[in-house]
Amino acid sequence: MKTFVGTSENALYIQICTALIAMLLIKYLKFKSRFNWSLSNLVAFLRWNLFTYRNLWEWIDRPFDVLPVKAEPVQYLLPFKGIGQHQLKTET
């Protein structure tokens, strides 16, 4: 930990416990992984992939596998004329 957010005794206790729990979880992931992670690389890759949806256990074993690209969803048009944001062009 570089700095503490709070300075009261309770805040320090909670921050230290949270950091210890985070380290315990990261060490567990490193232990369960079949990939030879260094601790700093694992933390960096976890931070980098924090908001991506991947299966954690597959990713932790094979972090450099490329996910298959999903097809773009098809935008279907409603058969109603004159409904929606676009105005109908009328020729006069």
Amino acid 74 reads V
CA pair distance 18, 41, nearest whole angstrom: 20
Distances in Å between the alpha carbon of 25 and those of 19, 29, 42, 84?
A: 10, 6, 11, 50
pLDDT tens, N- to C-terminus, the chain (92 residues): 677 888 899 999 999 999 999 999 999 999 999 999 999 999 999 999 888 888 888 888 888 888 778 888 888 876 776 666 666 666 66
Q: Token pair 């909670």 is at which residue? A: 14
- Return the pLDDT at 24: 96
CA angle 8, 20, 64 (to 5 degrees): 135
